[in-house]
Amino acid sequence: MTPIDLTPLESCFLAAIEEDLGTGDVTSLAVVGGAAQAFAEYVAKESLRVCGLSVVEEVVRICDSDVEFQSVSNDGADVEKGTVLASLRGSARSILAAERTSLNFLQRLSGIATGTREYVSAIGGARAQILDTRKTVPGLRILDKYAVACGGGVNHRVGLFDAVLIKNNHLIFQSSVISAVQVAREWANSSMKIEVEVQNLGELQEAIEGVADMILLDNFTAEQTREAVEIVAGRIPLESSGGITLSNIRGFAEAGVDFISVGALTHSVVAADIHLRVKMG
């Protein structure tokens, strides 16, 4: 995977550590000697796709830059239960201080990557690509979308600033889908794509006439999606969205759309089962 720039998230990591640590880890201060050293390993307790090791390293560094971090696996790797992902060596108190925060990030991001892998596998052989959405944890969107990419998905727009996506709440301010697309086209720069959400075949036809760059089929059934694909006939990329699960996604992929966006990738994450095994060092 392409390394992620964690610089913009420095304040987020600090806040997460401070939230947990507060004025100090009173348990470790009480029962772990200040000079005690430890060796610890992050271990997968289930089969998963790894994501977030660089975040773990940064969280540990913030807690104590003298703790030695060693990555054993890599982001984007598929591992089996019992696999060691990374190790730590240094102050026992520092390792215990970083334990929960680092695991929270690693478990969430690996959970997103693993879940995305399942969706990608579910449509294996189809032309469609799996997209994420903006349904992410506030402040952690960069990480959530990085995890989707680690899982084999493709990132949709990052935010409201990098692409035009005209949805039903925008359309109420225009007389038609055609008008909305044309107004957006006049406003946007030439490099900015114009996507429009449609909720029926009538709006689909308007989006075609308005020459949108991409059309989002909102809550279409698989059969309606197949009909939309036939109408568009490859002229404009199509995205399916809404009500799509692992159990029905294959039908949408086989209908012939180019993209399928799944909010559940990031809004309904099942955290990966990973623990930190600490030993006296």
Which residues form the catalytic set? Answer: 100, 135, 167, 197, 218
Who contacts 240 (Cβ-Cβ below 8 Å, separation ≥6)? 128, 216, 217, 220, 225, 252, 255, 257, 259, 260, 261
40 backbone dihedrals φ, ψ, rounded to 5°: -140, 150
Neighbouring C-alpha atoms within 13 Å toward the C-beta of 104 = 14
Neighbouring C-alpha atoms within 13 Å toward the C-beta of 55 = 31
Give a three-class secondary structure readout of 131-171: ECCCCCCCCCHHHHHHHHHHCCCECCCCCCCCCEEECHHHH
In angstroms, rounded to a whole number, what is the distance separating the alpha carbons of residues 113 and 109? 6
Check: CB of residue 255 under 8 Å from CB of residue 229. yes
User: Which amino acid is it at 250?
Assistant: R
